[in-house]
Amino acid sequence: MLLFSHRFPIILHDTSGVAIAWILAMIIRYGWPLTPEVETTLWQTLPVVILIQSLVLWFDGLYQSIWRFASLPDLVTILRSVFIGTLAIVLVLVLFNRLELIPRTSLLFYPFLLVFFLGMPRLLYRLWHEHSFKFLITGKTHLQRVLVLGAGTSGDLLVRDMLRCGGYIPVGFLDDQPRLHGGKVQGIPVLGSLDKVANVVESLKIDLIVIAMPSATAEQMQQVVEHCERSHVPFRTLPKLDNLVNAQVNLKVLRDVAIEDLLGRDKIELDWQIIQTRLQSKIVMVSGGGGSIGSELCHQIAQLQPTALVILERCEFNLYQIDMQLRQAFPNLTLHACLGDVTDSVAIRHLLKTYQPDLVFHAAAYKHVPMLQSQTREAVRNNVLGTQNLAEAVAEQGCETFVMISTDKAVNPTSVMGATKRAAEIFCQAMNGHSKTRFITVRFGNVLGSAGSVVPLFKEQIARGGPVTVTHPEISRYFMTIPEACQLILQAAAMGQGGEIFVLDMGKPIKIRYLAEQMIRLSGKVPNEEIAIVYTGLRPGEKLYEELFHLEEKLGKTTHPKILLAAPRNNHLVQVTPLLNALMVASDNYSEEEIQQVLGQLVPEMTVEKLSSHEFKIAVD
């Protein structure tokens, strides 16, 4: 009954179409006015025709279709219904009056007329919604003229949505595939290759460029964005394929081009089978689970259906955020959000005993290089002694795997932060083999968009109108996105046997100057004209170039092309433990000088320049 009430206007329209088609078919044959005999026959047969044809249309499902999305299948339904209805009408009328005064030509005209009356209104209604006729009729002139880059499936779907929703007039495509040039997609011409962006924008008065290339590599995106920047009009893009929700391509998912689009790499292919085997139905704990890396790790682990996920986080607000996000996204996940500090041995042992995790991902760490340079004690307590505390408790509990997340700054460290992370690596390697726990280290470089990273700082500086501060014109760093880093951490954890240092393939290092220039351009400004770039000089502990492995760590291949294996240097627990005990005593005595001396013995390759607290100044890392 509800369906009938919603479809009544459509039923009324189609019934009227049947009546008009039958009347016109008789008039075309006999002319106007009809003779009394023919007119009597017309009115006698009309109810029969309407009833039969309407029943056929109903049972064939035509009334279930939505006019706004009328398409070829609806036309096929109309043709089938009209054909079957005409046959049924002829059979009934033969029984009714032996087709007296009903000429054969009228029976031929009727189906053609009915197909027109049923199909044409549906077509016009869809055109009204999908194309710009209604805006032209109503006099609205605020439509944006759009140039779409990419004439593939995504571009086709995007243009369909533009035509359906209104507000935009797609006027052309550009695509680097020569076979598409000169053709049309949804009636919109493919005007040439992507390098013609500036010319097409000027000649066709384009208001907006849309990049419909979700499978493009970072290198391809860089080229496309350079073309767009020369056109001096706004441009937007679709997310990457793996970030598209349910692979839906429409106007709602369009966004500004982000720096991650230009610095990311091809989609990583993971061996999800081995990862899921290691994590599914296991209890997993993440320390520092509210941080940038930790929170993303939690999201990805939650997708693998662990028995339970235990989050350890010292920041109450960060813990609240990740707890709310995970409970909303994974309502069936058994989740334990625990406030705590890795330096609190009593709390750590209590948590491990209570929840008995199988795998522990250790992401809790202080990481801000210049800040830690003047606070050696806090860096050592958290990054070294906290790691020791958690690792020893994990070994005592008999957990399967402990994964320590390290950094490229641990290689030949020139900063306190790097030295503490290298010390944590050394301890974890030394611990392996002294219990049933597999101790694995994963080392990678800078992560785009993480807390305290350069990208949020540059955004803030650009929003203020500059200047953007870079320490040195030639300084470069390795970069990867947070999801990419976390996926490779999971892959390394799944393949590790214990004692390894896995080094993630970070690609080519990127100059921070280039990063600053690209972010300024993406904001619609011109570097060094509208937004200045100021070079402030290297800070204590800062390198021009980062390294991913030490000269004594011979790199080897693994089963995954994006993960390398750094041959670990020999570290024996009997040698490491006394130094860690000395660090603890020096920390308890708050003797930063003694802490640095012991840290130097533990990490002999470090060259750390001391920075007093009153000299500390937060700048770009």
Same domain, 89 and 235: no
Mean pLDDT of 359-385: 92
Residue 110 lies in a domain: yes
The pLDDT value given to residue 341: 94
The pLDDT value given to residue 510: 79
Strand-pair category, 308-313 with 335-339 = parallel
Dist CA 615 CA 540 (whole Å): 10
Single out the residue of 375, 370, 153, 119 nearest to residue 249, CA to CA. 153
Cα 303-487-504 angle, rounded to 5 deg: 165
Report the range out of 12-21, 72-81, 593-602 with the highest average pLDDT: 593-602
Same domain, 285 and 248: no
Residue-wise pLDDT for 285-298, tens only, equals 999 999 988 999 99
Torsion of CA 9, 13, 16, 22, to 10 degrees: -150
Domain limit, last residue, from 100, 128, 156: 128
The pLDDT value given to residue 69: 54
- The residue with tokens 């070079």 is 535
Domain limit, last residue, from 80, 96, 128: 128
Residue 227 lies in a domain: yes
Could you tell me if 608 and 424 are in contact, meaning their C-beta atoms sit under 8 angstroms apart? no
Length of the chain: 621
Q: Could you tell me which residue, 42 or 532, shows the higher pLDDT?
A: 532
**How many CB atoms neighbour CB 403 within 10 A?**
24
Query: Which domain, by its residues, includes 200?
Result: 138-257
The pLDDT value given to residue 598: 92
Dist CA 449 CA 292 (whole Å): 8
Same domain, 286 and 407: yes
Name residue 439's beta-bridge partners: 402
The pLDDT value given to residue 178: 87
Rounded (10°) angle between helices 416-431 and 573-588: 140
Same domain, 6 and 99: yes
Q: How far is CA 294 from CA 110, 157, 313, 548, in A?
A: 70, 36, 9, 21
Residue 299 lies in a domain: yes
Same domain, 187 and 118: no
Same domain, 145 and 283: no
- The residue with tokens 């000089």 is 537
Question: DSSP assignment of 122-138, as one string?
Answer: HHHHHHHHHSSHHHHHH
The residues, ordered by sequence, that sit 6+ positions from 158 with a Cβ below 8 Å of its Cβ are 148, 210, 212, 238, 249, 250, 251
Residue 535 lies in a domain: no
Dist CA 200 CA 190 (whole Å): 11
Question: DSSP assignment of 432-495, as one string?
Answer: TTSSSPEEEEEEE-EEET-TTSHHHHHHHHHHTT-PEEES-TT-EE-EEEHHHHHHHHHHHHHH
Residue 411 clears pLDDT 90, i.e. is over it = no
Same domain, 111 and 146: no
Lowest mean pLDDT among 220-224, 549-553, 555-559, 589-593: 549-553
Q: Look at the alpha carbons of 186, 192, 196, 202 in this order and tell me if their dihedral is positive or negative.
A: negative
Could you tell me if 227 and 195 are in contact, meaning their C-beta atoms sit under 8 angstroms apart? yes
Lowest mean pLDDT among 304-313, 401-410, 541-550: 541-550
Same domain, 420 and 569: yes
Dist CA 406 CA 424 (whole Å): 8
The pLDDT value given to residue 615: 39
| Average pLDDT value over all residues in the chain | 81
The pLDDT value given to residue 619: 34
- The residue with tokens 């010292």 is 314
Residue 345 clears pLDDT 80, i.e. is over it = yes
Strand-pair category, 476-477 with 510-511 = antiparallel
Residue 213 clears pLDDT 80, i.e. is over it = yes
Domain limit, last residue, from 93, 128, 163: 128
Residue 452 lies in a domain: no
Residue 243 clears pLDDT 60, i.e. is over it = no
Helix, strand, coil percent content, the chain, rounded in steps of 5: 55, 15, 35
Can you list the alpha helix ranges (DSSP code H) found in 307-439?
316-329, 345-355, 369-373, 376-379, 386-397, 416-431
Could you tell me if 426 and 418 are in contact, meaning their C-beta atoms sit under 8 angstroms apart? no
Helix (H) / strand (E) containing 19: helix 2-30
The pLDDT value given to residue 618: 31
Dist CA 517 CA 129 (whole Å): 42
Same domain, 305 and 245: no
Name residue 255's beta-bridge partners: 237
Can you list the alpha helix ranges (DSSP code H) found in 289-368?
292-303, 316-329, 345-355
Burial 320-333 (b: 16+ CB within 10 A, else e): eebbeebeeebeeb
Q: How far is CA 161 from CA 134, 165, 414, 549, in A?
A: 16, 6, 54, 49
In the three-class reduction of DSSP (H, G, I as helix; E, B as strand; rest coil), residue 101 is classed as coil
Question: DSSP assignment of 573-613, as one string?
Answer: HHHHHHHHHHHHHHHHTT-HHHHHHHHHHHSTT--PPP--G
Residue-wise pLDDT for 120-156, tens only, equals 887 777 666 555 454 444 444 567 888 989 888 888 8
Q: What is the CATH number of the domain that holds 217?
A: 3.40.50.720
Same domain, 214 and 359: no
Q: Could you tell me which residue, 99 or 152, shows the higher pLDDT?
A: 152
Single out the residue of 281, 578, 292, 566 nearest to residue 429, CA to CA. 566
Residue-wise pLDDT for 263-281, tens only, equals 655 556 677 788 888 888 8
Q: How far is CA 21 from CA 29, 51, 99, 118, 181, in A?
A: 12, 14, 17, 10, 44
Residue 493 clears pLDDT 50, i.e. is over it = yes
* Percent of residues, the chain, with pLDDT higher than 70: 83
Same domain, 360 and 484: yes
Same domain, 359 and 237: no
Could you tell me if 23 and 102 are in contact, meaning their C-beta atoms sit under 8 angstroms apart? no
Q: Give the count of domains, the chain.
A: 3
Dist CA 184 CA 172 (whole Å): 9
Question: DSSP assignment of 233-267, as one string?
Answer: S-EEEPPPGGGSGGG--SGGG-EE--HHHHH--SP
Residue 271 lies in a domain: no
The pLDDT value given to residue 3: 45
The residues, ordered by sequence, that sit 6+ positions from 246 with a Cβ below 8 Å of its Cβ are none
Residue 576 lies in a domain: yes
Residue 483 lies in a domain: yes
Instruction: List the structure tokens of 416.
Output: 């306190």
